[in-house]
């Protein structure tokens, strides 16, 4: 019993270390992040007619996607089962959001079949709309994509690679984090598809001396989930 308790405690610590600050919620706790309201674009267009001086309001390209999929359905259940065996909440823990049509997220965590293989999977979806104040939706998404990749690359020892076949822009960033003498293997995939930015994070660690998953396995798992999330966005707008 004592070893199981320790494994759970280490899993929580690892989750806290592995989650970047720009994720929707901290450490997959299920409590909404206070940053969601202040940092996420509201997605609402400016309704003001501008000044009466006579200058024409510029015409902005319409957003490609008008909706987001249900965040906990963005990844197939078979994929969740494969990446996070015996997840504590198989259906996922949705992140609280003021506007799930603009920003949403879901996460899964578990310690594997034997209780000593920690896994954490998170999917964050952010949709932008064209606004006279903020600009075209796709331009906003491009900026956000660049910011997220840049933030991930600031982690010491991070290794990034450009991906193809994942929407309009995509990158994979691998790293490690050590907490309480346990080192987790982490991989994050950032994708921009039109005016939507998707962040998939997948972390794994062997607890109490158990072998860690390989960097390649964690990377392929993150990419598998990312491809499904991109497809889910397209399906939600079909």
- Sequential DSSP letters for the chain: -HHHHHHHHHHHHHHHHHS-TTSSSGGG-SSPPTHHHHHS---PPP-----TT-PPPPPPPPPS------GGGSS-HHHHHHHSTT-SSTT-EEPP-S-TTTEEEEEEEE--TTS-EEEEEEEEEEE---BTTTB-HHHHHHHHHHHHHHHHHTSTT-EEEE-SSSSSEEEEEEEEEEETTEEEEEEEEEEEETTEEEEEEEEEEESTTPPPPPHHHHHHHHHHHHHHHHHHHHHHT-
Note the pLDDT of residue 231.
Answer: 98
Note the pLDDT of residue 128.
Answer: 97
The pLDDT of residue 104 is above 90 = yes
pTM, whole model, 2 decimals? 0.78
Look at the block and give the residue holding tokens 């490609």.
64
* 8 Å CB contact between 31 and 190: no
The pLDDT of residue 225 is above 70 = yes
Q: How far apart are CA 63 and CA 82, in angstroms?
A: 34
Note the pLDDT of residue 206.
Answer: 95
Q: How far apart are CA 197 and CA 149, in angstroms?
A: 11
Query: Does residue 31 or residue 93 have the better pLDDT?
Result: 93
Angular region, 220: left φ>0, alpha ψ -120 to 50, beta rest: alpha
pLDDT band at residue 182 using 50, 70 and 90 as cut-offs: confident
Report percent pLDDT > 90 for the chain.
69
CB atoms within 10 A of CB 28: 27
The pLDDT of residue 81 is above 70 = yes
pLDDT band at residue 13 using 50, 70 and 90 as cut-offs: very low
Query: Does residue 129 or residue 57 have the better pLDDT?
Result: 129
Note the pLDDT of residue 56.
Answer: 62
Identify the weakest region by mean pLDDT among 6-15, 155-164, 198-207: 6-15
């Amino acid at each position: 019993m004592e070893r199981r308790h320790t494994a759970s405690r280490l899993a929580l610590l690892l989750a806290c270390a592995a989650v970047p600050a720009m994720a929707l919620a901290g450490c997959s706790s299920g409590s909404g992040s206070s940053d969601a309201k202040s940092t996420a674009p509201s997605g609402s267009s400016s309704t003001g007619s501008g000044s009466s001086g006579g200058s024409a309001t510029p015409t902005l390209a319409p957003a490609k996607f008008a909706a987001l999929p249900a965040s906990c359905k963005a990844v197939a259940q078979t994929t969740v089962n494969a990446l996070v065996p015996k997840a504590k909440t198989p259906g996922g823990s949705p992140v609280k959001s003021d506007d799930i049509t603009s920003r949403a997220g879901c996460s899964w965590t578990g310690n594997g079949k034997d209780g000593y293989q920690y896994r954490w999977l998170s999917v964050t979806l952010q949709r932008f709309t064209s606004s006279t104040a903020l600009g075209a939706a796709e331009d906003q998404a491009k900026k956000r994509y660049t910011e997220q990749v840049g933030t991930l690359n600031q982690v010491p020892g991070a290794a990034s690679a450009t991906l193809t076949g994942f929407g309009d822009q995509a990158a994979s960033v691998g790293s490690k984090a050590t907490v309480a003498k346990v080192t987790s293997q982490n991989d994050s995939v950032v994708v921009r598809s039109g005016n939507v930015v998707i962040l998939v994070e997948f972390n794994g660690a062997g607890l109490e001396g158990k072998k860690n998953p390989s960097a390649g396995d964690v990377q392929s798992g993150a990419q598998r989930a990312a491809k499904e999330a991109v497809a889910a966005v397209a399906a939600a707008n079909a």
